[in-house]
Chain A
Amino acid sequence: MSDHNYVPSSKLGKWFNDRLPLLSLSAHLREYPTPKNLNYWWTFGGILTFCLFGQIITGIVLAMHYVAQADLAFESVEHIMRDVNYGWLIRYFHANGSSMFFLAVYIHIFRSLYYGSHKSPREVIWIIGMIIYFLMMMTAFMGYVLPWGQMSFWAATVITNLFSAVPFIGESITNWLWGGYAVDSPTLTRFYALHYLFPFLILGLVILHIWALHIPGNNNPVGIDVKKPSKDTVPFHPYIVIKDLFALLVFLTLFAFFVFYAPNLLGHPDNYIEANPLVTPTHIVPEWYLLPFYAILRSIPDKLLGVVAMFASIFVLIILPWLDTSKIRSAIFRPLYKQFYWILVLDVIVLGYMGALPPEGIYLLIARVATAYYFIHFLVILPVLGSKEKTIPLPLSISEPVLNEASDVVKNNKMNTE
């Protein structure tokens, strides 16, 4: 990290900064040396920050009108949609914002996997990121319960019922979660309280995530360390700021398409039916971003082991820095890893697709194969690849890939400044 001898230009600034160094922090963020070869897959961190603030702001505004009580919740959401000024806009922003948030986080995670951003010395950034991801899933799950539609109610029932699989104390845990003997108003009110809370925990973790990042600095597409900041990096402001802004605007255009022209496309029609404890929907499905985990859960025939497998699929990601044994970071220089990476991407998409289909016949078989591959990929393939793989020689530095082989590889991957 560069050391600042930053002195604020005004007397007031200096007085304040001596007591709380916010101006120094601001200067650090502006000058923060960022590798100049970052491509657009690196803009998703900024996009995610926007998504978080967007959800928090629209969420707080919705909270001014929503009523968290079983008899009134559905109606209060419709009140927001019909009567509150621009209520429909704020609600659709928040609901579709959740999907956009996950789209961005998946791209962000898969970027890390491809370029080795999870590897030393960035393990803690990665682990904090996984905790953020887990909290995001919990927040989204609880948020989906709040409109109290059929899917809200039954998804809550299915997922909270999983805890009854815990030996001996399972039923007690489940009743404790419910605040009763089934999902009902007490469950709703506590989910509301926690749904409001968790984003602020996420915000705190995001600050730690960025802080941890600023110690070693950003990874980059070729995965080699910065040798000479003056040649290899650019100050964050204005170069990265403008690039992040441009990428954010493109992202917002896609977001706007969903909000204004297909606001219910990513949702489920059953959630426009009021929750009915006596009638179960024919197919209970979570929102699309939770489908891969749903598929893993349902592919194991045993209830407890299904739950274990679902949590294991996240745990396996947390310990990834120690499973992926390769010394080379970027997949550009790891041709075999690159193939398995794309198989993993396909695998996750297949899992997601299976999660939306009934767990029967050919669908169940495919889900099981995909689940098996998922664990084999992380627990077997990655550790073995680290030692066995023949990698392509790395360039000497970010700004001077002198070796022809490397520069060809770099060119062929179109990993330019853009």
Chain B
Amino acid sequence: MSEEKKPKRRDFLYTASYAVGAVGIGAAVWPLIDQMNPDSSVKALASTEVDVSLVEPGKSITVLWRGKPVFIKRRTQEEISEARAVNLDDLIDPEKDEDRAKNPEWLVMLGVCTHLGCVPLEDKGDYNGWFCPCHGSHYDTSGRIRKGPAPENMQIPKYEFVSSNIIKIG
């Protein structure tokens, strides 16, 4: 009877020790991993406010946000109509222009080609939008991929107009 009991008590002590030890090792390892996450000074720069009052229709500016370029384009009526007229079936990555530019006059998107990350050139390409020289991806006036190896449209970041002239990105 006592022989039966012995292993149980012994196992409990060892099992408890291992379990408590494992918790400690986990708690000790976490800071070593978390320290590589963005630190608080980087996170403080996670949003940027941009004054767009000087941007004329048809023109665009490029700003740096989280280390990447963001294209802010003030589109002409022609460019907007062109974007809206496109049939979704013709798109490699179907997405409505209305969903990409809530305020149709302003297109705010990450200027990073979704193929391998180069910065596309403005006013180039077969679709009146952007053209990426690295591997030949063509984007339209809504920044959507139309031809070439890129799989997705240029990404729209989180943004809002905090006043009529100031866009807060991120």
Assess A/B contact in the complex (Cβ within 8 A).
yes
Chain B residues with Cβ below 8 Å from A61 are: 32, 35
A390 within 8 A of B: no
Chain B residues with Cβ below 8 Å from A83 are: 39-42
User: How far, in angstroms, from A65 to B37 measured CA to CA in the complex?
Assistant: 12
Closest chain-A Cβ to B69's Cβ sits at a distance in Å of 25
Asked if B35 contacts A90 (CB within 8 A), the reply is yes
Chain A residues with Cβ below 8 Å from B36 are: 64
A84 within 8 A of B: yes
Asked if A87 contacts B32 (CB within 8 A), the reply is no
B34 within 8 A of A: yes
Asked if A85 contacts B32 (CB within 8 A), the reply is no
Interface size on A, residues (CB 8 A): 14
Asked if B32 contacts A90 (CB within 8 A), the reply is yes
Asked if B41 contacts A79 (CB within 8 A), the reply is yes
B26 within 8 A of A: no
Contact of B37 among A58, A79, A85, A89 (CB under 8 A): A85
Asked if A85 contacts B34 (CB within 8 A), the reply is yes
Q: Is the interface of A mostly helix, strand, loop or mixed?
A: helix
Closest chain-B Cβ to A247's Cβ sits at a distance in Å of 15
Asked if A85 contacts B31 (CB within 8 A), the reply is yes
User: How far, in angstroms, from A61 to B28 measured CA to CA in the complex?
Assistant: 13
Closest chain-A Cβ to B101's Cβ sits at a distance in Å of 36
User: How far, in angstroms, from A61 to B41 measured CA to CA in the complex?
Assistant: 18
Chain B residues with Cβ below 8 Å from A84 are: 35, 39
Residue of B nearest to A79 (CB): B41
A257 within 8 A of B: no
Asked if A64 contacts B40 (CB within 8 A), the reply is no
Chain A residues with Cβ below 8 Å from B41 are: 79, 83
Closest chain-B Cβ to A51's Cβ sits at a distance in Å of 14
B window 1-58: CB within 8 A of A:
31-32, 34-37, 39-42
User: How far, in angstroms, from A57 to B33 measured CA to CA in the complex?
Assistant: 11
A86 within 8 A of B: yes
Asked if B39 contacts A90 (CB within 8 A), the reply is no
Chain A residues with Cβ below 8 Å from B37 are: 85
Q: A79-B41, A83-B40, A83-B41 are in contact. Are A64 and B32 (CB under 8 A)?
A: no
User: How far, in angstroms, from A83 to B41 measured CA to CA in the complex?
Assistant: 6
User: How far, in angstroms, from A65 to B32 measured CA to CA in the complex?
Assistant: 13
User: How far, in angstroms, from A90 to B28 measured CA to CA in the complex?
Assistant: 10
User: How far, in angstroms, from A243 to B55 measured CA to CA in the complex?
Assistant: 72
User: How far, in angstroms, from A82 to B40 measured CA to CA in the complex?
Assistant: 8
Interface string of A84-128 (1 = CB under 8 A from B): 111101100000000000000000000000000000000000000
Residue of A nearest to B43 (CB): A83
User: How far, in angstroms, from A83 to B35 measured CA to CA in the complex?
Assistant: 10
Chain A residues with Cβ below 8 Å from B42 are: 83
User: How far, in angstroms, from A206 to B31 measured CA to CA in the complex?
Assistant: 27
Closest chain-B Cβ to A161's Cβ sits at a distance in Å of 37
User: How far, in angstroms, from A61 to B39 measured CA to CA in the complex?
Assistant: 13
User: How far, in angstroms, from A196 to B140 measured CA to CA in the complex?
Assistant: 51
Chain B residues with Cβ below 8 Å from A79 are: 39, 41
Closest chain-B Cβ to A23's Cβ sits at a distance in Å of 23
Asked if A57 contacts B35 (CB within 8 A), the reply is no
Chain A residues with Cβ below 8 Å from B40 are: 82-83, 85
Please list the 3 inter-chain residue pairs (A to B) with the smallest Cβ-Cβ separation, ordered nearest first.
Answer: A86-B31, A83-B39, A83-B41
- A residues sitting closer than 8 Å to B (CB atoms) are 57-58, 61, 64-65, 79, 82-87, 89-90
26 A-B pairs with CB atoms under 8 Å apart are: A58-B32, A61-B35, A64-B35, A64-B36, A65-B35, A65-B39, A79-B41, A82-B40, A83-B40, A83-B41, A83-B42, A84-B35, A84-B39, A85-B31, A85-B34, A85-B37, A85-B39, A85-B40, A86-B31, A86-B34, A86-B35, A87-B35, A87-B39, A90-B31, A90-B32, A90-B35
Q: A83-B39, A85-B34, A89-B31 are known contacts; what are 12 more A-B pairs with Cβ within 8 Å?
A: A61-B32, A64-B35, A64-B36, A79-B39, A79-B41, A82-B40, A83-B41, A83-B42, A85-B31, A85-B35, A86-B35, A87-B35
